[in-house]
Amino acid sequence: MTGTVRLARDYGLACGTLPAGALDAITDVPGVRVGHLTRTDGALRTGVTAVLPHGGNLYRDKVPAAADVINGFGKSAGLIQVEELGSIETPILLTNTFAVGAGFNALVRHAIRGNPDIGRETATVNPVVCECNDGYLSDIQAMALTEADALEAVAAAVEGPVAQGSVGAGTGMSAFGFKSGIGTASRRLVLDGASFHLGVLALANFGRAGDLVLPDGRRPVPPDVRGPRGERGSVILLMATDIPLESRQLRRVARRGGAGLARLGAWWGHGSGDIALAFTTARRICHDQARDIVERACLNENRIDRLFRAAVEATQEAVLNALCASPAMTGRDGHRRPSLADWLSEREPS
C-alpha cells in the first residue's frame, strides 16, 4: 500500500525534528524484513504480520533484544524469555488475540525445519508472538487464522518499502475511534561520523475516541462513535536499530515508546495491552558459540538520549501512519470505523 496511500507527512503532520530514513520505515535498518498475510473474506478482517531481524537462521544467529510492558493487559507469547536472556531467536509475529497459539506453533515448526536438533540435541525454541484484539471489526471467535497463514507471512517478508494501513495484523484494528492498522516510521542518527537508523513498526489498536491529539494540536473526533468508548485495545511497538546496544539499553529505548503514545493522547487504560519490543541487528549471538568470553561493542550511555528522542518521534509517526493509511471499513455485523484520512482531507485548504 506504500506509494498508493497518503501518510502523516502528506497531511503536514510532522513528528519531531530528527530526519527520517530513506524509506521512513523499520526496514531502513539494514537486513530487517516485513511480510503480511491478510484475510478479508466473509466476516473476517484479520491477518498476520511477520518481522524478521535478518534473513538468515535466527535460531543459530540470535539478536539482542528487550521488551517493556507499558500496560500488561495482553496475551503475547515469548516475552518472559526475551526479558531473561535478552535475545530473539525467531521471526516476530503480530496477529489477533485468538491466533497467538497458531502463530506459536508455526514458529516452532519453522525453527525445527531449519534446525532439526531443536528439542533433541540442543535447546527448545522461544517463539515471539504479540497480539491485539480485532474483534470489533472481525469475527475473532472464528479462530480462522492458521499455522499456514503465519508461515505465509514469514515467507512474504522482504526488505524495502512496507505496506501500511489495513494489511496483515492491522486489517481489523482501530485506534481513537478511527480505522487503524499497521504503521511504520524511522529516524536517522549520526554516531562517530557514521549513519545509523532506529525504526518502529506499530500495530495500533488503542486509544479512546476523542482523545487523539495531532502534532498540530487538533483533536479529531470520529463521527457517530460506536463500540467500546474506554481506553481499551492494545498497541504493539516493534523497534529495530543497527546501533550496538546491550539488552538493558534496548529496554530503556523501548520504554520511550510510551512517550510517543502519550504525545498522541493515550494514557494506557486498565484494559489496554501496550508492549514495546526492541532489537538490534548490530550484533549476532551465536547459538553454537565455543568461546567462554566474547567481546562486544555497545553505545556510550551518555549518547543514548539521541535514541530516546528517535524512539518517541518514530513511535508517534508510525501510529499516525497506521491511521492515515487505513480507509474506512465496515466489518462484522455491520460494525464500522471511519477514516482519519477522510477527516483530514475534508479540512484541507481547497
The answer to whether 288 is a known catalytic residue is no
Average pLDDT in the 62-91 region? 97
Query: Do the Cβ atoms of 16 and 313 come closer than 8 Å?
Result: yes
Report whether pLDDT(134) > 70.
Answer: yes
Q: What is the pTM of this model?
A: 0.96
pLDDT number for residue 1 = 43
Query: Can you state the angle between helices 247-255 and 305-324, rounded to 10 degrees?
Result: 50
Report the Cα 300 to chain-centroid distance in Å. Answer: 26
pLDDT number for residue 271 = 85
Q: Which residue stretches of 157-304 are H helix?
A: 247-255, 257-263
The answer to whether 274 is a known catalytic residue is yes
Say which residue the cell 514469514 belongs to. Answer: 154
Q: What Cα–Cα distance (Å) separates residue 135 from each residue in 42, 114, 174, 270? A: 14, 34, 10, 18
pLDDT number for residue 349 = 85
| Other C-beta atoms lying within 10 Å of the C-beta of residue 255 | 18
| Other C-beta atoms lying within 10 Å of the C-beta of residue 12 | 11
The candidate with the shortest Cα–Cα distance to 164, out of 179, 150, 184, is 184
6 grid coordinates: 497518503
pLDDT number for residue 268 = 86
Helices (H) and strands (E) in the chain, counts: 7, 15
The candidate with the shortest Cα–Cα distance to 317, out of 232, 219, 204, is 204
Report whether pLDDT(184) > 80.
Answer: yes
- State the catalytic residue, choosing from 174, 272, 326, 339: 272
Report whether pLDDT(123) > 50.
Answer: yes
Report whether pLDDT(93) > 90.
Answer: yes
Which range has the worst mean pLDDT, 106-110, 149-153, 230-234, 269-273? 230-234
pLDDT number for residue 227 = 54
The pLDDT tens digits for 249-308 are: 999 999 999 999 999 999 888 888 999 999 999 999 999 999 999 999 999 999 999 999
pLDDT number for residue 228 = 54
Report whether pLDDT(223) > 90.
Answer: no
Who wins on pLDDT, 216 or 2? 216
300 grid coordinates: 556510550
pLDDT number for residue 230 = 62
Report whether pLDDT(231) > 70.
Answer: no
Query: Do the Cβ atoms of 79 and 69 come closer than 8 Å?
Result: yes
Report whether pLDDT(55) > 60.
Answer: yes
The answer to whether 272 is a known catalytic residue is yes
Tell me what the pLDDT averaged over the chain comes to: 96
Say which residue the cell 517478508 belongs to. Answer: 157
pLDDT number for residue 136 = 96
The C-alpha atoms of residue 210 and residue 229 are separated, in whole angstroms, by 9
Q: Which residues of 134-168 are buried (b: 16+ CB within 10 A; e: fewer)?
A: bbbbbbbeeebbbbebbbbbbebbebebbbbbbbb
Query: Do the Cβ atoms of 90 and 127 come closer than 8 Å?
Result: yes
- State the catalytic residue, choosing from 180, 242, 274, 339: 274
221 grid coordinates: 473526533
The candidate with the shortest Cα–Cα distance to 57, out of 260, 214, 233, 284, is 284
Q: What is the largest CA-CA distance in the chain?
A: 67
Average pLDDT in the 54-83 region? 97
Rounded to the nearest 5°, which phi and psi values hold at 184?
Answer: -145, 160
Beta bridge partners of 96: 132
Strands 128-132 and 92-96: parallel
pLDDT number for residue 233 = 80
pLDDT > 70 in the chain, percent: 97
The pLDDT tens digits for 154-181 are: 999 999 999 999 999 999 999 999 999 9
Report whether pLDDT(63) > 70.
Answer: yes
- State the catalytic residue, choosing from 234, 247, 326, 339: 234
